[in-house]
C-alpha cells in the first residue's frame, strides 16, 4: 500500500475525531446553558402579571378575558410539565396578549390615545 495513502487516512481519522470531540462539547455546553435558563420559569412571570390585573365581576367581557387567560395558563402549565416548549410558549403568548389588551382597555396609558 502506498505510504502517502496511509498517512492521508490517518490524517482524516484524526480530523474526524477532533470534530466529533468538539461537537460533543458543544452539545454538552448547550445542555448546561438550557439548564440555567430553565431555572427562570416563564409561566410564573405571566401568572404574576395576571394576579396583579383587576377584573370587574359584573363586567361580562372582563370575566370572559379572565377565563381565557386562566385556560391558556393551565395549558401552558400542562405543556411545561411535558417539556413541550413550543406549545408552552404559544399558550403563554396568547395569555399575555389577552392580558395586555385587558390592561390597555381598562385604563392603561394607551387606551387614552
d(CA 24, CA 19): 9
Task: Give me the numbers of helices (H) and strands (E) for the chain, helices first please.
Answer: 4, 0
Whether residue 51 sits in one domain with residue 89 = yes
| pLDDT tens track for 84-107 | 888 999 999 999 999 999 988 887
> Total structural domains in the chain?
2
**Domain limits for position 21:** 1-40
Whether pLDDT at 31 is above 70:
no
Whether residue 7 sits in one domain with residue 47 = no
Whether residue 52 sits in one domain with residue 29 = no
Tell me, what's the pLDDT at 36? 45
Tell me, what's the pLDDT at 96? 94
Residue 65 or residue 20, greater confidence: 65
For the CA atoms of 93, 101, 75, 34, the dihedral, rounded to the nearest 10 degrees, stands at 30
Question: Which stretches within 39-106 are classed as H helix?
Answer: 42-52, 60-81, 85-105
Whether residue 99 sits in one domain with residue 45 = yes
Whether residue 34 sits in one domain with residue 54 = no
The mean-pLDDT minimum among 1-5, 8-12, 49-53, 97-101 falls in 1-5
Amino acid at each position: 500500500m502506498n505510504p502517502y495513502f496511509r498517512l492521508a487516512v490517518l490524517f482524516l481519522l484524526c480530523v474526524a475525531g477532533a470534530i466529533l470531540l468538539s461537537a460533543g462539547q458543544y452539545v454538552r455546553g448547550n445542555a448546561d446553558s438550557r439548564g440555567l435558563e430553565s431555572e427562570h420559569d416563564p409561566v410564573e412571570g405571566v401568572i404574576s402579571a395576571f394576579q396583579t390585573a383587576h377584573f370587574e365581576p359584573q363586567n361580562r367581557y372582563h370575566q370572559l378575558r379572565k377565563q381565557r387567560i386562566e385556560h391558556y395558563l393551565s395549558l401552558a402549565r400542562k405543556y411545561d410539565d411535558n417539556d413541550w416548549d413550543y406549545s408552552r410558549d404559544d399558550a403563554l403568548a396568547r395569555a399575555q396578549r389577552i392580558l395586555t389588551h385587558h390592561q390597555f382597555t381598562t385604563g392603561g396609558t394607551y387606551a387614552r390615545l
